[in-house]
């Protein structure tokens, strides 16, 4: 170990680009691992959402495209177009104490809406990781139509 520490400065000096790339990759890994811990909303698995539905009756908001929502959605979810999503709307603002779960097609497009809910004062905001695709892969029931 002592020999390694003595040769490290020489290696870094001889391979500056490689060393810089290593540091950048190390920082990227650290940031991606810490990001979920620092955000104000939580990501649920399909099993976690099922548990939340059974215990607390959350407000389920599906932000998928209309056609995707009509093909398959979590039973009880309300459809809202992403362009019309407003955390300050009177119907939504009255549910600030309820757990709110945001769902979309694949779970990648709800982070912005979740952050908007947190900024609007919602304390229990969740997103379904993997979206309706993960829900269907878990072989959980889906509703169709409006």
If asked whether residues 68 and 86 sit together in one domain, one would say: yes
For the ranges 26-35, 43-52, 68-77, the lowest mean pLDDT is seen at 26-35
End-to-end CA distance of the chain: 65
The pTM of the full predicted model, rounded to 2 decimals, is 0.77
Burial 100-114 (b: 16+ CB within 10 A, else e): bbbbbbebebbeebb
> What total of structural domains would you count in the chain?
2
If asked whether residues 46 and 89 sit together in one domain, one would say: yes
Q: What digits encode the pLDDT tens for the residues 57-66?
A: 899 999 999 9
**Residue 146 lies inside a defined structural domain of this protein:** no
Q: Which domain holds residue 123?
A: 39-137
Q: Three-state SS for 57?
A: coil
If asked whether residues 48 and 86 sit together in one domain, one would say: yes
Quick check: 32 pLDDT over 80? yes
Q: What digits encode the pLDDT tens for the residues 88-130?
A: 877 777 778 889 999 998 888 888 889 988 888 888 999 999 9
pLDDT for the residue numbered 98: 87
């Amino acid at each position: 170990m002592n020999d390694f520490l003595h040769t490290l400065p020489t290696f870094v000096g001889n391979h500056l680009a490689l060393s810089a790339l290593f540091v950048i990759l190390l920082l990227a890994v650290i940031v991606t691992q810490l990001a979920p811990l620092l955000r104000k909303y939580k990501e649920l698995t399909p099993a976690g959402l099922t548990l939340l539905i059974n215990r607390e009756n959350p407000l389920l908001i599906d932000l998928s495209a209309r056609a995707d929502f009509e093909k398959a959605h979590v039973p009880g979810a309300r459809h809202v177009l992403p362009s019309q999503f407003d955390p300050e709307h009177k119907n939504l603002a009255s549910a600030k104490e309820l757990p709110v779960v945001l769902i979309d097609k694949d779970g990648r497009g709800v982070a912005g809406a979740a952050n908007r809910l947190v900024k609007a004062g919602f304390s229990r905001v969740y997103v379904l990781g993997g979206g309706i695709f993960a829900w269907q892969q878990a072989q959980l029931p889906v509703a169709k139509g409006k």
